[in-house]
Structure 1
Amino acid sequence: MADTSQCFNCRKESMTKDLKRCARCRGALYCNADCQKNDWSNHKELCGESSSWMDKYRGCRDGSLHEGKLELMTWEYIEPTTKERMGWGNVVIEGAEYMKKVLREECNGKLSRLFKKRPEAFRWTCCGTDAGMNFGCDHHGTGSRPCTCDFCRMGKALPNKMSKV
């Protein structure tokens, strides 16, 4: 299947390799310079010469952009489908101490290195999705662009059972 994305401005779908990336943040995708200029008022708050290691992971294949931060999952919860007890680093509870050791020893305490090894240990604060997910960011009305999901289009709140948090 072809890897396609949408222009951040006009939403025209094209092959990802044919779209141009914003030279500053490397996340936003555009058809051409005119589309980039037309989108600047929306994009400028997210764009910048940031030293944040997570910025290069914001761009999604569908043309959306994660607007939150990558958050290391450090809480315990029960995974809904497998019913397994999960812990620090989004691993089964028995593996949590090992993941902490990986961060300390193999990654020298750097979250960016842990992310390269295990992106699923993180989630985006803007949408709550697993950081390994790069097909699109669903902001549910809180992003710089309106969400296009059915729930937001209907003007109804997202049901609690749909929430990942």
Structure 2
Amino acid sequence: MICIRFYWWSYLRACRSPTEWYSKRRICRDGSLHEGKLELITWVSEEEGTGWGHVLIEESDDMRKKFEEEFGRDEAKLHKHWPQAFRWTCCGTDAGMNWGCDHHGTGSKACTCDFCKMGKPLPDSIYNELCASRHGLTLRRGPDPRSFNGAGAAMALAGRSMLGLEM
């Protein structure tokens, strides 16, 4: 039994990519899945005023230095310290957000966003929004046909109108 356990553990360690320190299928609080990869944000977003590591531009040199010197360029350590420094390539949300993956039809499960529930594509103002976590990604606009739900659409519509959100 010990040999089998040792062999299995050795197999797992040998076959796992050393850069795969996170789960590619991270489950969000709403039950949706992130099905992309985590990517370190290393670019400047003038619109948000953020730089390397998705911190304020003035703090980005310090964050990079901390990553290189204190964390030894170990992305897992940086993620534990500052998950917002990463983004999910499937939905363009930063890794500090675990409330959902709005993939609008590219994931294995139905999208859980209000627009897909209502059977509507994202409005221009949301789809074209410029932010660091969506920089350079080509994301689906939706709607995900698997998501439409009459009751859910009515609730989403009522909730968005009560909160003064775009429909």
After TM superposition, is the score higher than 0.5? yes
Q: Secondary structure at the match of 1:113?
A: helix
User: 101, 112, 137: which is aligned to 2:76?
Assistant: 112
Q: Which residue of 2 aligns with 1:61?
A: 29
Q: Which residue of 1 aligns with 2:98?
A: 134
Q: Which residue of 2 aligns with 1:149?
A: 113
For structure 2, list consecutive stretches of 5 or more residues without a partner in the other structure.
1-14, 135-167
CA contact (8 A) 2:32 2:112 kept: no
1:146 CA drift (Å): 2.0
User: 73, 79, 85: which is aligned to 2:41?
Assistant: 73
Letter of the 1:134 partner, please give it.
N
State how far apart, in whole Å, the 1-side matches of 2:83 and 2:38 are. Answer: 9
State how far apart, in whole Å, the 2-side matches of 1:142 and 1:65 are. Answer: 11
**Structure 1 residues 150 and 134: CA distance shift in structure 2, 3 A:** closer
CA deviation digits over 1:50-108, x for unaligned, max 9? 5411117812122221111111111111355xxxx210101111111111111111111
State how far apart, in whole Å, the 1-side matches of 2:76 and 2:25 are. Answer: 11
Letter of the 1:136 partner, please give it.
G
TM-score (norm 2): 0.60
State how far apart, in whole Å, the 1-side matches of 2:124 and 2:67 are. Answer: 33
Q: How do 1:26-45 residues align onto structure 2 when only pairs under 5 Å count?
A: none
Aligned residues: 113
State how far apart, in whole Å, the 1-side matches of 2:24 and 2:71 are. Answer: 19
Letter of the 1:69 partner, please give it.
K
**Structure 1 residues 155 and 57: CA distance shift in structure 2, 3 A:** closer
State how far apart, in whole Å, the 2-side matches of 1:76 and 1:159 are. Answer: 25
For structure 1, list consecutive stretches of 5 or more residues without a partner in the other structure.
1-48
State how far apart, in whole Å, the 2-side matches of 1:61 and 1:120 are. Answer: 17
Larger strand share, 1 or 2: 1
1:155 CA drift (Å): 4.1
State how far apart, in whole Å, the 2-side matches of 1:56 and 1:73 are. Answer: 17
Q: Which residue of 2 aligns with 1:88?
A: 52
Q: Once the two structures are aligned, what percentage of the paired residues are identical?
A: 59
